[in-house]
């Protein structure tokens, strides 16, 4: 499966502008299109001002694009509903099916935990015969939460990870791929918001921990290929997951 990773410079609190920009970057030909964390607004700690109600404009846009492209579209959005706010990862299929993962590890350093409610469900989505585990930004630092129990093939991580901690981002992406014997497809934003500078670093990492894309700090689309035959063969030849600790 071909995956397009859209490393975008998010316009602060401007959903319509971000949708317009993304529409020009989304082109047919991939099976999956991966967008950054809070792609429609930027990483906002004022969700009362920026979050959309569940099923709002950002989700509608994702559904429209998935149908147009005949591919799944995935990324996170700040949403409101039932009296709280969530950093919600949507995985949208061309037929309009929507799968939801609410970010589990909220970034206390920025106060995310004071404004959003954490999710507690691990989510794996099967699409075109490939199992995708969903994760958002800070989740990447917690290997126990992301431990592969033989239930997924690709870890999808969407992020607003600042330049100041980019070395950690690069290291953790490779570590998660190696220890979970999986592909990692990671989409980080570039540009600036009122608090941080972002230097991209979106990446595709293979199960050996090798980079499949070149590092970049500018807005662009990265293309990567998931080779399931290669992954299955590697797991058979070198069955690391069978020797994992039961924790």
Rounded to 5 degrees, φ, ψ at 140 are -60, -25
Residue 211 DSSP label: B
SS3 224: strand
| DSSP states of 30-99 | -SEEE--TTTTT-S-S-HHHHPEETT-HHHHHHHHHHHHHTSEEEEEEEEEETTEEEEEEEEE-TTS-EE
Q: How far, in Å, CA of 56 to CA of 47, rounded?
A: 14
What is the rounded distance in angstroms from the CA atom of residue 180 to the CA atom of residue 246? 14
The values of phi and psi at residue 171, to 5°, are -65, -45
Instruction: Report the C-alpha gap between 138 and 109 in whole angstroms.
Output: 10
Point out the residues that are catalytic.
37, 103, 137
Contacts of 169 (CB under 8 A, 6+ apart): 140, 159, 161, 186, 188, 201
Phi-psi region of 176 (alpha: psi -120 to 50; beta: other; left: phi over 0): alpha
């Amino acid at each position: 499966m071909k995956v397009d990773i859209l490393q975008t410079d998010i316009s602060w609190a401007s959903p319509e502008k971000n949708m317009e920009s993304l529409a020009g970057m989304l082109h047919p030909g991939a099976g999956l299109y991966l967008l950054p964390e809070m792609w429609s607004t930027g990483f906002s700690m004022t969700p009362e001002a920026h979050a959309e109600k569940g099923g709002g404009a950002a989700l509608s846009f994702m559904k429209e694009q998935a149908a147009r492209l005949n591919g799944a579209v995935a990324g996170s959005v700040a949403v409101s509903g039932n009296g709280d706010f969530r950093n919600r990862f949507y995985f949208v299929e061309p037929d309009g099916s929507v799968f939801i993962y609410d970010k589990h590890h909220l970034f206390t350093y920025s106060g995310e935990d004071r404004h959003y409610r954490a999710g507690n469900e691990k989510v794996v989505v099967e699409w075109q015969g490939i199992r995708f585990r969903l994760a958002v930004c800070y989740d990447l630092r917690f290997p126990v939460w992301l431990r592969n129990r033989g239930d997924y093939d690709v870890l999808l991580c969407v992020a607003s990870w600042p330049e100041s901690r980019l070395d950690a981002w690069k290291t953790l992406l490779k570590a998660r791929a190696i220890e979970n014997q999986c592909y990692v497809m990671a989409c980080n934003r570039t540009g600036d918001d009122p608090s941080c500078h972002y230097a991209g670093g979106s990446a595709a990492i293979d199960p050996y921990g090798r980079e499949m894309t070149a590092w970049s700090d500018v807005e662009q689309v990265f293309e990567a290929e998931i080779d399931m035959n290669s992954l299955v063969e590697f797991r058979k030849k070198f069955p690391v997951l069978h020797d994992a600790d039961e924790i």
